[in-house]
Amino acid sequence: MNLKVGLLGGGSWGTTVAALVARNAPITLWARDQNTVLEINEDHTNRKYLPDAKLPPRLVATNDLEEAVAGMDVLIVGIPSQSFREILNDIKNHVRPWVPIVSLSKGLELSTRMRMTEIIKDVLPEHPCGVLTGPNLAREIMAGYAAASVLAMEDEVVVKKLQKLFHSGLFRVYTNHDVMGCELGGVLKNIIAIAAGMGDGQGAGDNTRSAVITRGLAEITRLGVAMGAEVQTFSGLTGMGDLVATCTSPQSRNRSVGYELGKGRSIKEIIDEMFMVAEGVKSAPAVMSLADEYQVEMPIAREVYGVVQGESSAKRAFRGLLRAGIGSESEPG
């Protein structure tokens, strides 16, 4: 393709997406860490985040933000949610008009409860925006396993053009116009994954995990639909698909946080040892605030919120869920 692409973020998922795009178009990846930039350019690796992966030689890295943005035809932003607005403000004087911006981040801005595409519209309102999201574990994709993802944008012409940018080989990319639903699925599943991990850490079985995933999906769907998303989105790749992968894989950061909580460790101790962000921990307060605003019952998410805020323990939270009252499957609880 003739499109020139800039990608902001040198973490595991940003690097993986850059490697995928490099098969179809020239791409420059921006990372803050000069050592990461040198390693990508000289060794074609990013061992901190993807220890066993070899990156394509045509993937170029820089720590010069203007170099990664100016003159690009497409921008991809793989920055953690709480730094997302800051990086957009840093680039807005360098990005060309009307350049599409695609988010890779699965979180909510805590101070505003905004999704990443809402932040893009707020900071760079004239730019088409969307999100690439789905059940995508970076290390599996880099190892060559088949995967599917969704590119969600409101502009049907732009999304069809960009679909070809990401789609390649065993990485299949579908499109969806329900940007809100796709984004919310990626955000909310992180909370449920922490709950599933808490159960696993306490030795709960497959039956328990299946119940958490299924009832968690019901919570995600209730809030999403109340906010205006389409119900069918949550039974697709960005809803059920992402939820299952994140709740069951040892590679999932959010499940891993829950697992350690289930073992009795404190949230501060766990987070202090992590060098990658577990978005579910960051987004939990914003999610509960939205649940209150839209008057949606989310008992699993509320128990997780209590634990990650240090107000409860994983053991107490799970006991509370197991003692929940009986009722119809279509009802909250």
State yes or no: is 189 an active-site residue: yes
Q: What is the C-alpha separation between 80 and 282, in angstroms, rounded?
A: 10
The end-to-end CA distance of the chain, in Å, is: 49
Selecting among 48, 161, 189, 315, the annotated active-site residue is 189
Distance from C-alpha of 202 to C-alpha of 321, rounded to nearest angstrom: 14
Helix axis angle for 299-308 and 206-227, nearest 10°, is 100
Residues 6+ apart with CB under 8 A from 24: 1, 164, 165, 166, 167, 168
In contact, 83 and 123? CB cutoff 8 Å: no
Q: Cβ distance 197 to 254 under 8 Å?
A: yes
Structure tokens at 154: 């409101």
CA distance 294 to 79: 28
Residue 48: which region, alpha, beta or left (left: phi > 0; alpha: psi -120 to 50)? alpha
Residues labelled catalytic: 189
